[in-house]
Each structure stands twice: as C-alpha cells, then as structure tokens.
Amino acid sequence: MTSPRFPFPSLPAGWYSVGLASELLPGTVVPLRRFGRELALFRTQGGRVGLFDAHCPHLGAHLGGGVVEGELLVCPFHRLGFATDGRCGSQPRCYPGKIPEKLSARPWPLLERDGFLVAWYDPLERPAAWEPPTTDLVPFRPLRTRRWTLRTHTQETGEGSVDLAHLQAVHQYLSAEALHPVATEGPMLRAAYRLERRAAPGMHGDTFHMDIHVRLNGLGFSTVDVTLPKQGFSHRLWVLSTPIDSETIDYRVALAMRAPESPERVHRALGLLPRPVAVELVEAMLWREFVRDVELDFPIWESKAYVDPPRLLAGDGPIGHFRKWARQFYAALPTAEASAATPRRQDDHAGTTTSANPSAPPTMDDQSSPRCGPSEVKRPVT
C-alpha cells in the first residue's frame, strides 16, 4: 500500500491504538476503518474485547452493524454469533446441523496498554514478536486525551521525535540539545533532550527548561516523560499514530500528570489557592499548552511529502538514523533507501549511537535550519 506522497512499500508493522478502553462499554460495537481495512471493534457483556475483519465470513455483512448478545458479536444479516477468538458460537434455528469450523471471523491480536486498546498490524500477517510496555498509572492523575484525523503518515509523525531543528523553528523553544545519542534496540528507539522555553508572566525567572525522555515502540505507540526540575513536577505523554490508509492517520495524544507538591513553584499566584484547586489549574494549563504545541505540526504534516533521500543538515538531528531504524517495519525497503550505499560505522554529528545494528547514517554538514511558521490547524475529531 503506497501513495505518491509517501512511497513506502506497505503500511508499517506495529502496535496501534484502535480506541480508549474506558469508552468501549460492555455491549458496544464500533465500526472502524484502519490499515486500509474495514474492522469491527466490540466489548462483550462480560467485558472481553474483540477486533474482527468487518465482513462476516458467511455472506459478507458488516459486523460493525451487528449487536452484542452475551459473549458473542451477532451478525446483522443471518444472526450468526462470533466469540472474541473468532469462532462461531451460535446459529439461528434456520441453520440445522453442526457449525463448520471454517465459519469463523478473523480476529486481530489486541491488548490493553495504559488505558488504550492497541491492535497488532503486520503487512505480511506475521505474529507479533514484541509488545509495548505498560505504565504504572498509580502515581499519576487521570488521563487526558484528544484525537484528530490527519492527512499524513505514521513515519512522518514519528520522525518529529528526532528532528531537533524543528523544535526551535516550529515550536519556538529557545534551545534544544540532546542529553545522549539516540539509541535503538529492535523495535524500540530512545532519545533524550533538554529544552529551554520562555517563561509565562508570573512564573519564576525569564526562562525555564524541561528534560524529556522519548521512547518509540514501533511507529504507533510512543511515550514521552517530561520533567520540569525548577517547577518540581513531571508528567507522561502518549503519542499514538494509527494508519487509516496510506495517506491518513488517526492521531491521539494523552497526558497524565504527577501532582506537584508545591504549585506555587509553577506560578506565584497558585500559592494563594487551596492546593487541590491549584493542582487542577496547573494540569489544565499544561494540557492546553501541550495541545497547542502539538497542533503547530499539523499544517506542515498535511502538506508535506516524504523526500527520499533528504538533503540533511547536521542541526536536523539524527533523521538518517531514525529512517534506517524504521525500515524494519515495512514489508520491503523503499527503493531509494534500499539502493543507497552502506553507511559508515560512526556516530553522526546529530548524535546517534549504534546498538543491535552496527551501522550509523552518513555524516551531514552543520548548518542552521530555516524557521517556518504555523498556519490553520486541522479540526479535532469530536
């Protein structure tokens, strides 16, 4: 599955969000389009969750239009019922005899992680060889989440996590530096940065800095741990990018904050309020700024094309290293990258390191990156 804007040989394999666990109530059926396919997501009355190819194996009715009865998803056409493992578990009286074993819906591997329902997709239908990690949510306040439908690709959204120059050019950080080289191990990529930003009126000092630790688990499930040392609090972000088709994604972000012990360290005026009220205000301000920051990327993502090979500058960050790591998720290599010369075994100026794969991308010349500004943002999904 390819497109003129994103000439990849397939959609990338990985674990991808298909919904929030809290929103899928018992007895609920949700028709979905993901990975270029029609799907049906449902939860049984007993709480089990299933994800099927949408069309009934009997005569092709869309199971997303069916109903849940007990532990079965019942087809709207002939009322055949399917358990979460795909097996046909009931048939109406008009069909006498034993249920054929081949009459089964196609189930998708499905997990719950950090309150999200994530499904395994592989263009070659290989079984999952890894799973995304689980977060202990006990120290955090309740999750806040929002999603959009965007005209872009999961690799493009993931690439932003290593694009140091755009943090200053687009997101207007005063400085952005890598705390250690990007490291990869199998489907996991780690990066860490220190960012400096201008302080809002009422905050202590003219500027403040934050340390962020990024972990990509494939191209669809990413977490970002953010610490503000001067303000004395931290939070975790989730960035979940799921292909709808080769040019469109379902993009979900979430935030969970650890309550600051002293909200007045964030803003002087918060010390005048009861602590629960102050904590609520800190979280609301943090969430508003995070969503605003995320949306700055949207007009760029929705209008850009994937350039291969790119003409990189050293200040861009380890984009070459990221792209090499991302190749593993496709059914085959993109043509231009597959025919490229073997990279040199050395770290590039942008700060990469080798792990399971000993080759690093070529070195780039160090030049400053141009500034670019935001335009109209994509409206969120309601």
User: The pTM is what?
Assistant: 0.84
With cut-offs at 50, 70 and 90, classify the pLDDT of residue 380.
Answer: low
Instruction: List, for residues 354-373, the tens digit of each pLDDT value.
Output: 333 333 333 333 333 333 33
d(CA 174, CA 197): 5
pLDDT > 90? residue 28: yes
Q: What is the DSSP track for 278-304?
A: HHHHHHHHHHHHHHHHHHTTHHHHHH-
Question: Which residue has better confidence, 73 or 282?
Answer: 73
d(CA 31, CA 40): 5
pLDDT > 70? residue 188: yes
* Average pLDDT value for residue range 274-297: 90
With cut-offs at 50, 70 and 90, classify the pLDDT of residue 65.
Answer: very high
pLDDT at 202: 65
With contact defined as beta carbons under 8 Å apart, do 17 and 34 qualify?
Answer: no
pLDDT at 345: 30
Question: Which residue has better confidence, 377 or 143?
Answer: 143
* Average pLDDT value for residue range 290-312: 95
DSSP state letter for 379 = P
* Average pLDDT value for residue range 290-301: 96
CB atoms within 10 A of CB 362: 14
pLDDT at 311: 93
Three-state DSSP string of 92-118? CCCCCCCCCCCCECCECCEEEECCEEE
* Average pLDDT value for residue range 100-116: 94
Instruction: Tell me the percentage of the chain whose pLDDT exceeds 90.
Output: 65
**Token pair belonging to 114:** 């950090």
pLDDT at 64: 97
Instruction: List, for residues 114-140, the tens digit of each pLDDT value.
Output: 999 999 999 999 999 999 999 999 899
With cut-offs at 50, 70 and 90, classify the pLDDT of residue 99.
Answer: confident
Instruction: List, for residues 34-60, the tens digit of each pLDDT value.
Output: 999 999 999 999 999 999 999 999 999
Q: Domain segments of the chain: what residues?
A: 14-121, 135-382
With cut-offs at 50, 70 and 90, classify the pLDDT of residue 298.
Answer: very high
pLDDT at 336: 47
* Average pLDDT value for residue range 204-218: 90
pLDDT > 60? residue 318: yes
Class of domain 135-382: alpha beta
With contact defined as beta carbons under 8 Å apart, do 78 and 58 qualify?
Answer: yes
What number does CATH give the domain 14-121? 2.102.10.10
